[in-house]
């Protein structure tokens, strides 16, 4: 045997040994589900709790000085909603750097603590009547810190799920963090629903709005308990063993994978636009223009969120069988059709069945579009920059697709009617379709690379 053949044989043996080690150290399915799902559940719980509070309570708590104009106060309140989305790309750079250099586990623990502490602090803030403008300043600061923490959450959770997945099941495992979204949404909505049922408007303004933010601490403690005990992912262990960890992941991403970042951004952006159109804008619109009480509309949202969860599972199974691109192409085309027709469901006063149809179909399409991205985005990047690349694309989408959605949709509907909101969503869906069609299929991509 020549020296070259001996060297090649040794390298093959080392690779097999590392793969065997990674297989032994793989987290259990229960650990993967809990560790990946809990963070996304907290993300959507926190963000929807803030969105609900910003649309319904904060105009009267933090923006009471704006010429006593309720529309101006609402728009100002919704603008604070955008701050966390603007901070998220910075969070993805920070946590992506450590996630690709030090590992997924420690980074996820740090991101969970950051966003959890910021959320709880929001629930402790004095009102404008007590602190004046400083109350608004600290609210914005907490929202910014919350966004930093959330910037490292989704990509890490998706990698914990997909880098522990058996062959042919990456999209299915990628559904675990995606399912955290309807769970967090349901918990947040349920909390507000119970509060609205038991407290009057004055009590909600005085202290009731704080309860969902303070209860977030329970979810954070549960999440920490799960994540501290989990193993590092097999893929990252192999990357370390092969000395493929890069010195500056984000620089490498911009140098080698900028196109994938742009594709990721527009693939995800429409899911953000759809979610906050359904969950935040429509709540404000339904209670101010369609004659529903907040409690009634929250009940509709809690019913329709089951369609979101069901279609996440369906779409991920579909993506594992026929591919990511076909699954996301179908969802994008369906969203264009939905965007054109949904305004006709919001034109009658207090029509329960039309509103439920709007919400259920919308959330079903949300599940179809959101489910496969947990596998698809990470598959677009190499293992050495996967945390940074997928996280940056996902969180830039938060600015493009979500940061100003409630504000833009409120402004559009007040000037040009609900059809203009549908047109806005249709444009985002077309952008998603173009991005999907320019991507390569990644169903059979080598995830260890």
For residues 388 and 77, the answer to whether their CB atoms sit within 8 Å is no
Buried b (16+ CB within 10 A) or exposed e, 11-46: eeeeeeebeeebeeebbeeebbbbbbbbbbbbbbbb
For residues 141 and 149, the answer to whether their CB atoms sit within 8 Å is no
Whole-number Å distance between alpha carbons of 391 and 65: 38
The count of other CB atoms within 10 Å of the CB of residue 261 is 21
Q: Distances from the Cα of 140 to the Cαs of 32, 68, 283, 443, in angstroms?
A: 34, 21, 23, 41
Output DSSP code: residue 383. Answer: G
pLDDT of residue 223: 86
Tokens of 159: 């990698």
User: Domains of the chain (ranges plus CATH)?
Assistant: 26-437 (1.20.1250.20)
Q: Distances from the Cα of 289 to the Cαs of 75, 164, 281, 417, in angstroms?
A: 16, 47, 12, 11
H-run or E-run covering 304: helix 294-322
Whole-number Å distance between alpha carbons of 105 and 82: 28
Tokens of 283: 């709540």
Buried b (16+ CB within 10 A) or exposed e, 339-356: beebbebbeeeebeebbb
Q: Distances from the Cα of 157 to the Cαs of 80, 168, 278, 372, in angstroms?
A: 26, 19, 24, 14
Helix (H, G, I), strand (E, B) or coil at 443: coil
Whole-number Å distance between alpha carbons of 56 and 316: 34
Q: Which of 185, 210, 122 is nearest to 367 (CA)?
A: 185
Q: Which of 401, 392, 389, 402 is nearest to 89 (CA)?
A: 392
H-run or E-run covering 98: helix 70-101
Whole-number Å distance between alpha carbons of 236 and 422: 42
pLDDT of residue 66: 60
Whole-number Å distance between alpha carbons of 253 and 101: 14
pLDDT of residue 167: 85
pTM of the model: 0.85
Torsion over CA: 313, 316, 322, 327 (sign):
positive
Helix (H, G, I), strand (E, B) or coil at 267: helix
Whole-number Å distance between alpha carbons of 279 and 289: 16
Residue 417: left if φ>0, alpha if ψ -120 to 50, beta else—which one? left
Q: Burial, 259: exposed, middle or buried (Cβ in 10 Å; 0-12, 13-18, 19+)?
A: exposed
Helix (H, G, I), strand (E, B) or coil at 382: coil
For residues 162 and 174, the answer to whether their CB atoms sit within 8 Å is yes
Whole-number Å distance between alpha carbons of 18 and 219: 35
Q: Distances from the Cα of 80 to the Cαs of 83, 204, 439, in angstroms?
A: 5, 20, 34
pLDDT of residue 189: 85
Q: Which of 36, 141, 149 is nearest to 88 (CA)?
A: 149
In tens digits, the chain (449 residues) has pLDDT values of 444 444 444 444 444 444 444 444 556 778 888 888 887 888 778 877 887 888 788 888 888 776 566 767 777 887 787 888 889 899 999 999 999 998 888 898 999 899 889 999 999 999 988 998 899 999 999 999 998 988 888 889 999 999 998 888 999 999 999 999 899 988 988 999 899 889 998 999 999 999 999 999 998 898 888 888 888 888 888 888 888 888 899 999 999 999 999 999 999 999 999 998 998 889 889 998 999 998 899 899 989 999 999 999 999 999 999 999 999 999 999 999 999 999 999 999 999 999 999 999 999 999 999 999 999 999 999 989 999 999 999 999 988 887 778 778 888 998 899 999 999 999 999 999 999 999 999 998 888 77
Cβ neighbours of residue 386 closer than 8 Å, sequence gap 6 or more: 100, 155, 159, 235, 378
Q: Distances from the Cα of 30 to the Cαs of 123, 218, 437, 438, in angstroms?
A: 32, 20, 35, 35
User: Of how many residues is the chain composed?
Assistant: 449
Residue-wise DSSP of 406-425 = HHHHHHHHHHH-HHHHHHHH
pLDDT of residue 232: 86
The count of other CB atoms within 10 Å of the CB of residue 255 is 10
């Amino acid at each position: 045997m020549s020296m070259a053949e001996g060297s090649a044989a040794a390298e093959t043996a080392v690779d097999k040994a590392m793969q065997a080690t990674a297989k032994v150290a793989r987290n259990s399915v229960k650990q993967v589900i809990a560790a990946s799902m809990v963070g996304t559940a907290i993300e959507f719980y926190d963000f929807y709790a803030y969105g609900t509070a910003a649309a319904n309570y904060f105009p009267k708590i933090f923006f009471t000085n704006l010429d006593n104009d309720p529309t101006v106060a609402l728009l100002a309140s919704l603008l604070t909603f955008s701050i966390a989305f603007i901070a998220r790309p910075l969070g993805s750079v920070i946590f992506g750097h450590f996630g690709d250099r030090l590992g997924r586990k420690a980074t996820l623990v740090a991101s969970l603590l950051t966003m959890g502490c910021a959320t709880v602090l929001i629930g402790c803030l004095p009102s404008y009547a007590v602190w004046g403008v400083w109350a608004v300043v600290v609210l914005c600061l907490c929202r910014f810190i919350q966004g930093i923490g959330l910037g490292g959450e989704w990509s890490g959770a998706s990698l914990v799920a997909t880098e522990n997945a058996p062959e042919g099941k990456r999209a299915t495992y990628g559904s675990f963090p995606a399912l955290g979204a309807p769970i967090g949404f349901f918990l947040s909505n349920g909390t507000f629903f119970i509060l609205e049922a038991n407290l009057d408007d004055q009590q909600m303004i005085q202290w009731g709005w704080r309860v969902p933010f303070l209860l977030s601490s329970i979810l954070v403690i549960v999440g920490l308990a799960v994540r501290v005990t989990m193993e590092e992912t097999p893929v990252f262990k192999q990357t370390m063993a092969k000395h493929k960890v890069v010195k500056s992941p984000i620089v490498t991403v911009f140098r080698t994978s900028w196109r994938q970042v742009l594709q990721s951004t527009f693939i995800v952006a429409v899911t953000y636009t759809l979610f906050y159109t359904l969950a935040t804008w429509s709540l404000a619109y339904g209670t101010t223009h369609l004659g529903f009480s907040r409690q009634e509309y929250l009940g509709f949202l809690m019913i329709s969120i089951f369609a979101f969860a069901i279609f996440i599972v369906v779409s991920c199974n579909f993506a594992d069988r026929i591919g990511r691109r076909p699954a996301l192409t179908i969802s994008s085309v369906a969203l264009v059709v939905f965007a054109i027709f949904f305004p006709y469901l919001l034109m009658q006063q207090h029509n329960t069945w039309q509103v439920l149809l709007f919400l259920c179909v919308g959330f079903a399409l949300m599940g179809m579009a959101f489910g496969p991205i947990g596998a698809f985005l990470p598959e677009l990047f190499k293992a050495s920059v996967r945390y940074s690349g997928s996280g940056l694309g996902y969180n830039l989408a938060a600015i493009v697709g979500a940061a100003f959605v409630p504000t833009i949709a409120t402004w559009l509907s007040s000037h040009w009617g609900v059809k203009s909101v549908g047109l806005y969503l249709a444009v985002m869906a077309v952008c998603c379709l173009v991005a999907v069609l320019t991507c390569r299929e990644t169903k059979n991509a080598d995830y260890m690379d």
